[in-house]
Amino acid sequence: MMLALWIFLVLGVGLARGRGGGGGTKWLCSQTTFCTTESEMVDGENYKKERFESQRDCRLSCGKYGSVWPMPTGETSLSHNRVHFDPQKIHFDVRAPSEATSQFLDETRRLFLGNLRKECRCDCTLASSAKILVKANVISESLVLDWRTHENYKLFINTTKAAGTVVNIQATTVYGARHAFETLSNLVTGSVASGLLLVRDVVISDRPVYAHRGLMLDTSRNFIPLSYVRKTINGMAASKMNVLHWHVVDAHSFPLDITRVPQMRIYGAYSSSQTYSPKEVVQLMKYARLRGIRILIEIDGPAHAHSGWQWGPEEGLGQLSVCLNRIRWEAYCAAPPCGQLNPMNENMYTVLKAIFRQVAEMGAPEETIHMGGDEVYLSCWNTTKQIRDKMLDDGYDLSEKSFFRLWAQFHQRNLLAWEEINRRIYPSIPEPKPVILWSSRLTDPLAIENYLPKNRFIIQTWVDSHEPLNKMLLQRGYRIIVSTKDAWYLDHGFYGSTVYHTWRTVYNNKLPKSRDRRQVLGGEVCMWSESVDQNSLESRIWPRAGAAAERLWSNPKDAPELIERRFYRYRDRLVDRGIHADAVTPRYCVLHEGMCEHYFYNTNK
């Protein structure tokens, strides 16, 4: 036993040395941000004089942004010196203006320490740790997280003989402060022997370019267990993303348990265990909140409504959704099983309102809802006798225009229902929040103003980058959230003729400009779940979503070549934190910077 332990220790330490390039090997940083060993110095590069104990140590301050992902948007300066410390010996002096904000920051601190421990290599304890004091100061009492929340922060690290190392975080809100702690964790790496290394002198001033930095997660086509949703949230937090758009239900399954209408789950979930209870959803929302993330729930309609909507006739409520069992589905819906809500059935509106009520009750008072609205097939309504008869009775004809009006009325009624519910539950919220719809034929810029008022509806566009839709909606004064189909659809490349979008394509996707900057709220990468479940979810999303995260936080101008090594470090950090982020290049190229230039990503794909 003792012998085994002895062998383990010797081997363990030996391996750690080997991996870190310890045992005397030193690393250097060049002006174009390569970190290489003395023996692999790249010809023609201008190297700085400092020597580092490992590649990761070097990377902490090599290049303007070191290891920080996403890159800060304000002043950034990182010294090449380090302090060597033990994470258990950090002192905190955290100040917030209220009990609730203090509690929030207690949790932030706990999460931060958890993330620091993931950086440890073998052992993090250090007998003689540098003295580190982390001061954080938040000004605002508000815990509101929406498009107007101030997420800015300043982070200073000053080291003097007299005071030791003082980290100073200043933020308007707790959300800015938690981003600062995230950045601070990017300024730390494990030391080869033990303990952690921290950049010794730092100035960072940072704020996001876009207010809406989202990831859309579909949990209907395939069910995603909550533990995997939480891991997705962890990855988002590490990337300073702030909106989880939860496409929780669709035609395929309805896993959300609506307490007032249990039929939705009973008829709609794949199984009785593949559901999300209201309590679980509320817990998840709190979990996300503490990581700086809102959860925005989508209840898609009128299309994409099959599972969960079948029971109307049996229970005397008539058909809530129509075209449910169309075999030749291609003419009536985008994908089987078909189902489009029945706008001529008052009971459908009653059920929908009960669902909205639960969404409102589960969410934060300031939170809005996504009402879907994509891929409506007029042919479904037009081939349903009840709907045709009622339209003719009401004095409509069966023209496209009439059906568009019916469709628009559907959204307008739901908007009113949502507003009424929110006024009742949250009387202190002064103005009703706009709701979100996917772009569709109804949001065609040439007609949208007849159907959807721009102060009440935000449009999430999902078209290819060359299409003029965004620009036209902006010209008409609409606010948009951008999910560029040929760059930010993470499901592409796994079915039909779609192509996989590499992290570079994701990264290079620039959002449209508008005269009024606030009109472009931001964007979302989309994880539709037809060909993904918990077995591959993490590697499908990560690290690519992180490339979008930097686009949305920093909107960088730099040539992508300069960000490559910082991205590799970001990806490894996700892996260290337990997220199964995919590999993006051979390990050799990560370890030997400068040896693989223009390889693997040279093509413009």
Among 335, 398, 575, 591, binds ligand NAG (CB under 6 A): 398
* CB of 35 or CB of 167, closer to ligand NAG: 167
Residues comprising the chain, all counted:
605
Q: What is the DSSP letter of 41?
A: P
Q: Are the beta carbons of 189 and 197 closer than 8 angstroms?
A: yes
Question: In the structure encoding, which two tokens stand for residue 66, read together?
Answer: 């070191």
Residue type for position 310: Q
Contact residues for 176 (Cβ-Cβ < 8 A; gap 6+): 138, 150, 151, 152, 153, 207
* Minimal distance, residue 475 CB to ligand NAG, in Å: 28
* Minimal distance, residue 560 CB to ligand NAG, in Å: 30
Using CA atoms, how far apart are residues 419 and 416, in angstroms rounded to an integer?
Answer: 5
* Minimal distance, residue 158 CB to ligand NAG, in Å: 4
Burial group, residue 518, by CB count within 10 angstroms (0-12, 13-18, 19+): exposed
Q: How many CB atoms lie within 10 A of CB 255?
A: 25
* Minimal distance, residue 132 CB to ligand NAG, in Å: 14
Contact residues for 177 (Cβ-Cβ < 8 A; gap 6+): 105, 108, 136, 138, 153, 169, 171
Using CA atoms, how far apart are residues 154 and 520, in angstroms rounded to an integer?
Answer: 25
* CB of 398 or CB of 562, closer to ligand NAG: 398
User: Can you spell out the DSSP letters for 328-340?
Assistant: SGGGT-SSSSP-E
Site for ligand NAG in 122-181 (CB under 6 A): 156, 158
Among 203, 282, 334, 463, binds ligand NAG (CB under 6 A): 203
* Minimal distance, residue 200 CB to ligand NAG, in Å: 11
Question: In the structure encoding, which two tokens stand for residue 441, read together?
Answer: 């034929």
Tell me, residue by residue from 361 to 380, as one string, x for binding to ligand NAG by CB under 6 A and - for no binding: -----------------x--
Per CB under 6 A, 396 contacts ligand NAG: no
Burial group, residue 43, by CB count within 10 angstroms (0-12, 13-18, 19+): exposed
Q: Are the beta carbons of 289 and 145 closer than 8 angstroms?
A: yes
What is the DSSP pairing of strand 212-218 with strand 243-247? parallel
Q: Are the beta carbons of 338 and 323 closer than 8 angstroms?
A: yes
Alpha helices for 222-269 (secondary structure H): 226-238, 263-268
Among 75, 315, 389, 400, binds ligand NAG (CB under 6 A): 400
* CB of 5 or CB of 162, closer to ligand NAG: 162
* Minimal distance, residue 382 CB to ligand NAG, in Å: 4
* CB of 387 or CB of 474, closer to ligand NAG: 387
Q: Which of 63-71, 183-191, 393-401, 445-453 is the region at the interface with ligand NAG (rule: CB under 6 A)?
A: 393-401
Catalytic residue at 366? Answer: no
Q: Which of 68-76, 118-126, 399-407, 450-458 is the region at the interface with ligand NAG (rule: CB under 6 A)?
A: 399-407
Three-state secondary structure call for residue 166: strand
* CB of 356 or CB of 410, closer to ligand NAG: 410
Q: Which of 258-266, 395-403, 505-513, 569-577 is the region at the interface with ligand NAG (rule: CB under 6 A)?
A: 395-403
Per CB under 6 A, 356 contacts ligand NAG: no
Of residues 107, 361, 375, 597, which has the active-site annotation?
Answer: 375
Q: Of 434, 529, 424, 418, nearest to 481 (Cα)? A: 434
Q: Are the beta carbons of 380 and 333 closer than 8 angstroms?
A: yes
* CB of 91 or CB of 605, closer to ligand NAG: 91
* Minimal distance, residue 389 CB to ligand NAG, in Å: 12
Q: Which of 310-318, 394-402, 512-520, 527-535 is the region at the interface with ligand NAG (rule: CB under 6 A)?
A: 394-402
* CB of 96 or CB of 406, closer to ligand NAG: 406
Using CA atoms, how far apart are residues 13 and 194, in angstroms rounded to an integer?
Answer: 10
Residue 279 to residues 231, 236, 258, 355, 473: CA-CA distances in angstroms?
19, 22, 11, 15, 38
Q: How many residues bind ligand NAG (CB under 6 A)?
A: 9
* Minimal distance, residue 383 CB to ligand NAG, in Å: 7
Per CB under 6 A, 382 contacts ligand NAG: yes
Cα 460 to the center of its chain, rounded Å: 15
Contact residues for 101 (Cβ-Cβ < 8 A; gap 6+): 138, 140, 141, 143, 174
* Minimal distance, residue 161 CB to ligand NAG, in Å: 13
Q: Which of 208-216, 280-288, 357-365, 398-406 is the region at the interface with ligand NAG (rule: CB under 6 A)?
A: 398-406
Tell me, residue by residue from 183 to 202, as one string, x for binding to ligand NAG by CB under 6 A and - for no binding: --------------------
* CB of 98 or CB of 382, closer to ligand NAG: 382
* CB of 106 or CB of 201, closer to ligand NAG: 201
Site for ligand NAG in 412-471 (CB under 6 A): none
Contact residues for 547 (Cβ-Cβ < 8 A; gap 6+): 503, 504, 506, 507, 567
Among 309, 403, 457, 489, binds ligand NAG (CB under 6 A): 403
The C-alpha angle with vertex 335 and arms to 332 and 339, in degrees rounded to 5, equals 55
* CB of 203 or CB of 463, closer to ligand NAG: 203
* Minimal distance, residue 572 CB to ligand NAG, in Å: 29
Q: Which residues have a catalytic role annotated?
A: 375
- Which residues of this protein are in contact with ligand NAG, per CB under 6 A? 156, 158, 203, 378, 382, 398-400, 403
